[in-house]
Amino acid sequence: MIQTIDLRGSEPTPAALLASVPRALTSVAVAADIAAELIADVRERGGAALLDQAERLDRVRPGQVRVPASHIIDAVAGLDPAVRTAITETIRRVRLASAAQVPPHTTTTIEAGATVTQRWQPVNRVGLYVPGGKAVYPSSVVMNVVPAQVSGVRSIALASPPQSHFDGRVHPTILAVAGLLGVDEIYAMGGAGAIGALAYGVEDIGLEPVQIVTGPGNVYVAAAKRLIRGQAGIDSEAGPTDILVIADAAADPLLVAADLVSQAEHDELAAAVLVTDSPELAEAVAARLIALAESTTHSERVTAALRGRQSAIVLVDNLQVAAAFSNAFGPEHLEIQTSDPDAVLETIENAGAIFLGPYSPVSLGDYVAGSNHVLPTGGQARFSSGLGAYTFLRPQQVVSYSREALQGVADHIAALSNAEALPAHGDAVTARFTADR
């Protein structure tokens, strides 16, 4: 069902650990050419390209790309009460946690009359992508929209693929959640073409370019986000999901297996990895995976993910090596199910989000923990972070000097500008103190 990687009896170097990390063969780089073609098509033909791409890739041609307000109103009215209650609570929790990600403005007084203020300025307009291929993700609407609103973004455009089961409309649950959050600029478009449309704008459907594009998606969405970087900012290349569980003999094999399956059901390319120093736990988890994969709703998808080269049970000599392997993997989701999870946490450097103990499963973070589930995948947690209010904020330094304060450093500026052979820099300061100017 799932491969075993045995690292026992060795002391792998960081380079060796990186080489041993299991990854899917399908990469963002492989998808880049197709994504580039789709984006170029949208830039050339606008809304017609988006409609054609929907018909070809989503197997349905929407009546229009821009979602009418009436569709949103109908969706809100028809939302299941239990889902509405759950979404309302999720919004409350994510809003609370996101608010902690907005730093206060801070002014530093360098000396009398000389201050530098650090402020955090939100971008004005963002494009948020909510996938809709193998599943519907109303929770991703919350995870994208709430941090943007908390940061102070004023203009939000949301894109989600048209659904063949709903006559080419965006999934009504996604529309309903967007409506509850006050988002009314929604487009029935998906995949790489949608990412390009958000970044460059589409004049004939009234879509203005955005400054930042965020949200998860498949490998083509991730490739498109890489391609539009520079035209617009992105959060991360959030492609097929992954989970890594560090566990020892104290862990419950059923819970470990259940958590691996919970992420494997997202996509055949999803990565599910257990790293343990307990051969007995590894054997028990492997057996549980077979049973759970056979009985779960998306059995074929889960089985394909677990059998893929990106999934594995990794045997190590101790938890120190387990942590080193995890840091090399850079998991989107890291669970620590050990007798002392806090001690293991101290050795962790790279992870999108971390879940401690048996009662903090990734499923909690996917929905109502208050944390954000839009996280870097494919090892990008080694150098990037998940989506948050800070994603939409830019640190800006505001410099304010009085005449006296500037005069006090004028000689320093002249000396440095002359040393760099840029005397006009110094002259610009001296001009402010020239009597006959």
Element (H, E) at 191: helix 191-200
Q: What is the CA radius of gyration of the chain?
A: 25
CA distances from 355 to 30, 235, 345, 369, 370 (A): 32, 21, 10, 10, 12
Could you give the CA distance from residue 242 to residue 271 in angstroms, rounded to a whole number? Answer: 4
* Measured torsion, CA atoms of residues 364, 355, 289, 86, in degrees rounded to the nearest 10: 0
Q: Is 333 annotated as a binding residue?
A: yes
Q: Is 420 annotated as a binding residue?
A: yes
Residue 203 burial by CB count (10 A; 0-12/13-18/19+): exposed, middle or buried? exposed
In order, the DSSP letters of 245-281 are EEE-TTS-HHHHHHHHHHHHTT-TT-EEEEEES-HHH
Q: Is 425 annotated as a binding residue?
A: yes
Q: Does residue 300 have an active-site annotation? A: no
**374: helix, strand or coil:** coil
> Phi, psi at residue 181, to the nearest 5°?
-90, 0
Give the Cβ contact number of residue 337 at 10 Å: 26
Q: Is 263 annotated as a binding residue?
A: yes
User: Which one of the listed residues 265, 333, 335, 373 is annotated catalytic?
Assistant: 333
Q: Which residues contact 423 (CB under 8 A, 6 or more apart)?
A: 417
Q: Is 171 annotated as a binding residue?
A: no
Could you give the CA distance from residue 239 to residue 99 in angstroms, rounded to a whole number? Answer: 26
H-type alpha helices, 9-124: 14-20, 28-45, 47-53, 69-77, 81-99
Q: Is 310 annotated as a binding residue?
A: no
Residue given tokens 């594009």 in the structure block: 213
**128: helix, strand or coil:** strand
Could you give the CA distance from residue 402 to residue 395 in angstroms, rounded to a whole number? Answer: 23
The amino acid that residue 29 corresponds to is A
What residues form DSSP beta bridges with 271?
A: 242
Q: Which residues contact 260 (CB under 8 A, 6 or more apart)?
A: 243, 245, 272, 273, 274, 285, 289, 306, 311
Q: Does residue 333 have an active-site annotation? A: yes
Could you give the CA distance from residue 160 to residue 175 in angstroms, rounded to a whole number? Answer: 9
What residues form DSSP beta bridges with 246?
A: 275, 336
User: Which one of the listed residues 237, 265, 332, 335 is annotated catalytic?
Assistant: 332
The binding site for Zn(2+) comprises 263, 266, 366, 425
Active-site positions?
332-333
- Binding-site members are 241, 263, 266, 333, 366, 420, 425
Binding site members for substrate: 241, 263, 266, 333, 366, 420, 425
